[in-house]
Amino acid sequence: MPDTPHYEQQYLDLMRYIWRHGDERIDRTGVGTRSILGATMRFSLADDAVPLLTTKRVYWKAAAREMLWFLTGDTNIRELVRQGVHIWTDWPLDAYRKATGETIDREAFEARIIADEGFALEWGDLGPVY
């Protein structure tokens, strides 16, 4: 891929294209998105490099576990929580609090997700996230 632009430039070019030509869509958050179909970016994974663009600190082990979880097609946080990955807990925890009125903290909620399969089935499923 010698003629391929640096991944950061590819990303900027794609974002510019989506902004100018993308379709506006309503999403589950109510914020909305702009999107296009079938966009691709190409980059080398040589030398164990993984292109990552973010404004936050990324913990590689948690990110890798999340990626592998996505590949399984699972939408329940139980397996992630078992592995110490907490990034998806807030949504089902918030839904549980609203539905039950219980003021459970994240740690107690996650402990119950792990210990009680029925609870995990009812309250740990995210539905279609991606």
- Indicate whether 105 and 64 sit together in one domain: yes
- Per the model's pLDDT, the better-predicted residue between 106 and 49 turns out to be 106
Q: Which two tokens stand for residue 4?
A: 């391929």
- The pLDDT value recorded for residue 77 is 96
Average pLDDT on 76-93 reads 94
Query: By residue range, what is the domain housing residue 113?
Result: 54-130
- Indicate whether 41 and 62 sit together in one domain: no
Closest by alpha carbon to 78, among 113, 42, 103, 53?
113
- Indicate whether 47 and 58 sit together in one domain: no
Residue 130 pLDDT grade (very low, low, confident, very high; cuts 50, 70, 90): low
- Indicate whether 67 and 80 sit together in one domain: yes
* Alpha helix positions (H), the chain: 7-21, 60-72, 78-82, 90-100, 106-115, 117-123
CA dihedral 14, 18, 16, 12 (to 10 degrees): -30
- Indicate whether 67 and 93 sit together in one domain: yes
- One-character DSSP codes across 24-43: EE--TTSS-EEE-SS-----
What span, in angstroms and rounded, lies between the C-alpha atoms of 120 and 88? 13
- Geometric angle at alpha carbon 49, from 47 and 50, rounded to 5°: 155
- Indicate whether 85 and 67 sit together in one domain: yes
- The pLDDT value recorded for residue 11 is 87
Q: What are phi and psi of 98, to 5 degrees?
A: -65, -40
Q: How many domains does the chain have?
A: 2
- The pLDDT value recorded for residue 2 is 57
Strand, coil or helix: what is 74?
coil
- Indicate whether 66 and 125 sit together in one domain: yes
- The pLDDT value recorded for residue 86 is 93
- Indicate whether 61 and 31 sit together in one domain: no
* CB-CB contact of 48 with 65 (8 Å): no
- Indicate whether 68 and 40 sit together in one domain: no
- Convert the pLDDT of each residue in 7-62 to its tens digit: 788 888 999 999 999 999 887 777 888 889 998 888 777 877 777 777 677 788 88
- Convert the pLDDT of each residue in 63-75 to its tens digit: 889 989 989 999 9
What span, in angstroms and rounded, lies between the C-alpha atoms of 93 and 79? 16
- Indicate whether 76 and 117 sit together in one domain: yes
